Amino acid sequence: MDMATQRVMVIFAHPDDPEFMVGGTMAKWAREGAHICYVFITDGSAGSNDPTMRKADLIAMRQREQRGACDTAGVKDIVFMGYTDGELQPTLQLRRDLTRLIRRFKPTIVVCGDPTSWFYGNGYINHPDHRAAAIAALEAVFPSSETLPIFRELLDENLPPHKVHQVWINGHPKPDTWVDISADLETKIEALRHHVSQVTVGDGDFIRKWAAEEGATANMAYAEHYKVMKLVNEEQA
């Protein structure tokens, strides 16, 4: 795939989600010339249990951290949608808002999480915001972004239907596509380091361990894996 011609929209619930989940792939694609836009559905305001932390300060801090991470990874565009962190639902309103963003940016590729995963290992229950974000992202890709009669009001905003070519779903229990991130692993770790309020990266070895585990099945030193939906066949793309 010629990444220089790709427009990639990455849709997740929280600032820092793409750094953890798809940061190596995005650093690689950015380096290869893709135009990448990160969309954060929530405001990140539930990212602290410190009772003295003011909500507005936390939101601002997380946006600053995210901008730094995007600079490191070569991600040019960021959208903060401002839904309340920790209370996300895959509503029709959210689907419409995401459809608007998709029709505006016109991505060839959308990247999101897996809506079906409740458990990762035995120590982490998948955050409900992550599932809600993934459901809403997929429902916006199909059918609403490509179908004229759905959300007709978007036509008044000069936003005609747009068909996304591929959807890359991270965190699916049965992945079918592996991206070798060996050359971009250190960039992934450096980008994650910007999220000081959320994670202590330290020597970054836990990230190297995850990437090694994801790469093992595909005989890659370090990888991120996906289930890839191809909504347009290769000749049409």
**Which residues make up the interface to Zn ion (CB under 5 A)?**
14, 17
Residue nearest to Zn ion (CB): 14
* 87 vs 157, beta carbon nearer Zn ion: 87
Nearest distance in Å: CB 67, Zn ion:
17
Q: Which residues contact 135 (CB under 8 A, 6 or more apart)?
A: 90, 115
Nearest distance in Å: CB 12, Zn ion:
7
* 165 vs 172, beta carbon nearer Zn ion: 172
Q: Which residues contact 133 (CB under 8 A, 6 or more apart)?
A: 11, 12, 13, 41, 88, 90, 112, 113
* 17 vs 65, beta carbon nearer Zn ion: 17
Nearest distance in Å: CB 159, Zn ion:
28
Q: Which residues contact 27 (CB under 8 A, 6 or more apart)?
A: 72, 73, 74, 181, 184, 187, 188, 191
- 160-164 contacts: CB < 8 A, separation 24 or more? 160/103, 161/103, 162/102, 162/103, 162/106, 163/231, 163/232, 164/102, 164/107, 164/108, 164/109, 164/110, 164/231
Type of residue numbered 60: A
* 70 vs 159, beta carbon nearer Zn ion: 70
Task: Report the distance separating Cα 5 and Cα 15, nearest Å.
Answer: 26
Nearest distance in Å: CB 170, Zn ion:
12
* 44 vs 215, beta carbon nearer Zn ion: 44
Q: Are 64 and 47 in contact (CB under 8 A)?
A: no
* 85 vs 190, beta carbon nearer Zn ion: 85
